Structure 1
């Protein structure tokens, strides 16, 4: 069975995502398309627009299986985000990993990546120099790597993730074949609608109450967005999240050390910022700096609320948590050495460490429930039934 994978967020699932899934299947002639998707919180350190089950079900129009990315993985910088996801996909014995790129042709993408890999020692040396000057890791990495690319536009958010996927595949000596696919017209950073039929997730989120978004979404995705809005009356609120963070850091004064994304000195700095800023927007605006990017601060905030600690990165993950699947996925369930978690009783199969990962996933789900007014332990109550294949 030829297996194709996509690392995703689908926040929300739009026409561009559907295009890449269909194009990747067409190129590879894969028997099974698996998406490993961020759960309730995404890599930017933000709350997902709608819940993970609705996003997963939207993707099933061109996927066969959607599994949940453990929450601590989705809330890390690009290199660790890529590394941990590739480790899971490698255990699933994936044949291809497809991902979107922009500003560059597929052939040139590989050439640029190899040039960066060949100069990694020089780049790492320069990164250390910039870090000593007080710059963030992201800025230091960009400045150190930029001299080895032909066009600085290569360093878009999507391309950086793509680069890290390819790097992780090489570091693991994996047999997974990287498959970059040029994004259609819209750019990941676009915040408004610029092209017919295709739009970025950012632009859709920024215009979520505009009927025009319907043009940029598969019908089922638009349906689930409206269903979520009707069910909860609003989309998740960052200020509520910030109030929880402020309580924990100012009143409970829980230790921030050993939390993912933490760096020495961030705790005292963020305590000062939380005391001085009453809203989420003001806090982010005033606390972001040359050293601490807004994305890093946002990720740290949620990791802190979830108590996602650095030791989680050391756990050998040996399960997949299923969000949606069709009959084609049944073959994978029978063949894989990984435990398959679909319902609560499946947790009994897991060892102690992997149960901890599942507990953290459920904790993230409960935090999301708190933000939208949903019942607690939703993951344990949600019934996942087999879907009919769309291909």
Structure 2
């Protein structure tokens, strides 16, 4: 069986995600689609809108055949490491190709950019270093250095766009891994990554959908932009938790964690650098809600996304030393499967190059224990009384 892999968050699953999965299957000629999906915390440093099991069910209902979990250490990482984890898992499970949505829409500019930056690696790193010394943020330094090398020529990928950036890192990760998977991209349609909902369009960004809900729209009012099954599952999640995941929801616990730890402990958490622990601590003393807090901490040097990743690690207790202890994924964690996915696993099981884990009880190594802990902390933030849900929820099967 021929498989195409996609790397996703589904926060929540919407019509654009369904289009991506359908086009990935078509463009690759694959028999099934395998999704590596982030768990309870996401790459932009946020708690997921709803839990990984609801999002897995959304994916299966919309035609995804296998859903496996991207471990916390990669799901909450900056783009290059996020890509590294996702590509490693798709390669381990035997995908023939991987496909990502992009603003670029064609693969050749990405291949050209990868070749250029590989050949100019030393020069590129020096440009980045010099740019950072001027006081700009790391993402801005990357972009400026890249433009210096490419001169905005159209045969290179536009790495100012969020999906293009991730796509480039997918190709880079595959090259570094020595993977034989074929890279594919499809044109992203509808709303851009950060766009608010635009009335009348059937495809909105996940950011726009979450924003609309938190501004007062009901789940039913989002039905234009999401499959019917996704709407039903959001209603089920609302009944179970009485809330959806956000930093505003988690802020009382986050604030307590920051104030209890103090600057001396905060500086040991992953991604906390350059003395920002003092500002984080003082801001938590002052701000009684998350938006007030983040407005006190963010700056040109520290973007909102970068700060949110720090806060995620502070909240979960993930330290620099823990981060540095991980090199690559150590298992494939199965979250859900269709009939075709089940058949694929039975057919490919002996060729999967990492242990296939279907029960939380088998997540015995440090990476697995971290995933279990992250789920516990997520459920606590959501006000759940079922903190052992990781152990009581089997892989979801959609026959």
- TM-score by length of structure 1 reads 0.91
**Is the 8 Å Cα contact of residues 14 and 225 (structure 2) preserved in structure 1?**
yes
The aligned residue for residue 44 of structure 2 is 44
> What is the match of residue 252 of structure 2?
243
Is 1:84 aligned to 2:123, yes or no?
no
Q: Does 1:387 align with 2:392?
A: no
Give, in whole Å, the separation in 2 of the partners of 1:98 and 1:43.
19
Output one character per residue of 1:197-223: Cα deviation in whole Å (capped at 9) or x when no partner.
211111111112244421111111111
**Residue of structure 1 in register with 2:355 after alignment:** 339
Measure the CA separation in 2 of the matches of 1:173 and 1:383: 33
Distance in 2 separating the partners of 1:292 and 1:33: 37
Which residue of 2 is the match for residue 326 of structure 1?
Answer: 338
User: 2: distance between equivalents of 1:271 and 1:40?
Assistant: 25
Within 2, Cα distance between the matches of 1:155 and 1:227? Answer: 37
SS at 2:50 equivalent: coil
Taking the aligned partners of 1:52 and 1:370, their CA distance within structure 2 comes to 15
Structure 1 stretch 207-216 or stretch 51-60: which is displaced more?
207-216
Answer with 60-69 or 264-273: which moved more: 264-273
Contact 1:37 1:66 in 2 (8 A): yes
Unaligned segments of structure 2, at least 5 residues: none
Q: Contact between 1:10 and 1:55, CA under 8 Å: does it hold in 2? A: yes
- Tell me how far apart the structure 2 counterparts of residues 26 and 142 of structure 1 sit (CA, whole Å): 33
Matched, 1:124 2:125: yes
Superposed CA offset, 1:310-357 (max 9, x none): 44452443311111112323332523232222224434xx5xxxx221
Find the counterpart in structure 2 of residue 232 from structure 1: 241
Deviates most, 52-61 or 89-98:
89-98
Q: Which runs of 5+ in 1 are unaligned?
A: none
Q: By how many angstroms is 1:107 displaced?
A: 3.6
Pick from 351, 369, 375 the counterpart of residue 365 of structure 1: 375
Q: Tell me the distance in 1 between the aligned counterparts of 2:105 and 2:333.
A: 34
Flag the 1:305–1:179 CA change in 2: closer, same or farther, 3 A: same
Answer yes or no: is 1:260 the counterpart of 2:270. yes
SS in 1 for 2:49: coil
Q: Which residue in the other structure is 1:286 paired with?
A: 296
Q: Helix, strand or coil for the counterpart of 1:181? A: strand
In 2, the alpha carbon distance for the partners of 1:112 and 1:237 equals: 36
Aligned partners of 2:396 and 2:127: how far apart in 1?
Answer: 51
CA–CA separation in structure 2 for the residues paired with 1:104 and 1:358: 36
Normalising by structure 2, we get a TM-score of 0.89
Aligned alpha-carbon RMSD (Å):
2.2
- Any conservation in 2 of the 1:73–1:80 contact (CA below 8 Å)? yes
Q: Deviations along 1:114-160, whole A, 9 cap, x unmatched?
A: 44444333321111012122222111111111232347964111111
Cα gap change, 1:372 to 1:179, in 2 (>3 Å): same
Where do 1:1-391 residues align within 5 Å? 1-60=1-60, 61-147=62-148, 148=150, 149-150=152-153, 154-193=159-198, 196-208=201-213, 209-210=217-218, 211-253=220-262, 255-310=265-320, 311-312=322-323, 314-330=326-342, 331-332=344-345, 334-335=349-350, 336-347=352-363, 350=364, 355-374=365-384, 375-388=386-399
- Shift in Å at residue 87 of structure 1? 2.2
Query: Which segment is superposed worse, 65-74 or 129-138?
Result: 129-138
Secondary structure at 1:67 match in 2: strand
The 1:216–1:385 alpha-carbon spacing in structure 2 relative to 1, beyond 3 Å, is: closer
